[in-house]
Amino acid sequence: MIKIVSAQKHYKLGGETVKALDGVDLKIADGEFVAVVGPSGSGKTTLMHCIGGIDKLDEGSIIVGDSDISKMNDKELSKYRNKTIGFVFQTFNLQPNLTAAENVALPLIFSGTNGKEAKQRAEKALEKVGLGDRIGHRPGQLSGGQRQRVSIARSLVNEPSILLADEPTGNLDSHTGKKIIKLLQDLSEKEKITFIVVTHDDRIAEKASRVIYILDGKIQKEIKGRKKSSSKYLD
């Protein structure tokens, strides 16, 4: 369970204070596939970064399991990110000089896993996302969809309990994006991981078990069940 209580996050922009999160209260159950949607500047990415331990709240709390991550120090947050969270980014963030397997193995290497085990687990993660035949390929030899699959495999390799995806189809054409959406949905059901996807893509929202609409740092409404989403809060 993720429990967010009275979350506040403010930024100084010029002479103004921008309320990226303005009193957000939210609960996300284990194994949910949640889509967070809203226009640019609505606070959805800030919310994801705070859940992921990349950024800290100014006020309020984020409780993951039995731990209040808003009270963690930098060392504790680093361990939390490595062990509990998997990240998928719009820009893939792959190392161009490394193979697919080496890119996927990086989180394991950082956590002290020996090379042989890291290689085996990386290859297994790539097989899960349908890239068992691309293990030795470098990013420049892969299509955009394949690079995003490598990114997803990397996010799964440490067996996180929560996966956070920031616009995972943003750099993909519609056909490739549809395949990535189907992959995320399948992984959500098979791996029993909590998926939180920040998106402008209505197709992802339609696949989510819950859609959270955010605007001006506040949750406007939620829709439960896999229903068609409204584009009212989307760019």
Tens of pLDDT along the chain (235 residues)?
899 999 999 998 888 888 999 999 999 999 999 999 998 889 999 999 999 999 999 999 999 999 999 999 999 999 999 889 999 988 888 999 999 999 999 989 888 889 899 999 999 999 989 999 999 999 999 999 999 999 999 999 998 999 999 988 888 888 888 888 888 888 888 888 899 999 887 778 888 899 999 999 999 999 986 544 443 433 3
Q: How many domains does the chain divide into?
A: 1
Would you say residue 51 lies in a domain?
yes
pLDDT (0 to 100) of residue 227? 45
Would you say residue 91 lies in a domain?
yes
CATH code of the domain in which 112 resides: 3.40.50.300
pLDDT (0 to 100) of residue 226? 58
Would you say residue 229 lies in a domain?
no
CA–CA distance, 96 with 140 (Å, rounded to integer): 7
pTM of the complete model? 0.86
Cα–Cα nearest to 144, from 103, 184, 181, 172: 172
Burial of 71 (0-12, 13-18, 19+ CB in 10 A): exposed
Would you say residue 233 lies in a domain?
no
DSSP-derived letter for residue 201 is -
Residues 195, 188: contact at Cβ < 8 Å?
Answer: yes
Provide the β-strand partners of residue 8: 22, 59
DSSP states of 55-119 as a string? Answer: S--SEEEEEETTEEGGG--HHHHHHHHHHHEEEE-TT----TTS-HHHHHHHHHHHTT--HHHHH
| Alpha-carbon dihedral angle through residues 197, 199, 201, 205, given to the nearest 10 degrees | 40
pLDDT (0 to 100) of residue 225? 65
pLDDT (0 to 100) of residue 110? 84
Strands 218-224 and 210-215: antiparallel
Would you say residue 15 lies in a domain?
no
pLDDT (0 to 100) of residue 145? 92
DSSP-derived letter for residue 228 is P
Would you say residue 20 lies in a domain?
no
CA–CA distance, 151 with 16 (Å, rounded to integer): 36
pLDDT (0 to 100) of residue 224? 84
Domain holding 121, by residue range, is 31-56+73-224
> Within the chain, what is the greatest distance between any pair of CA atoms?
53
pLDDT (0 to 100) of residue 22? 95
Would you say residue 128 lies in a domain?
yes
Strands 210-215 and 33-37: parallel
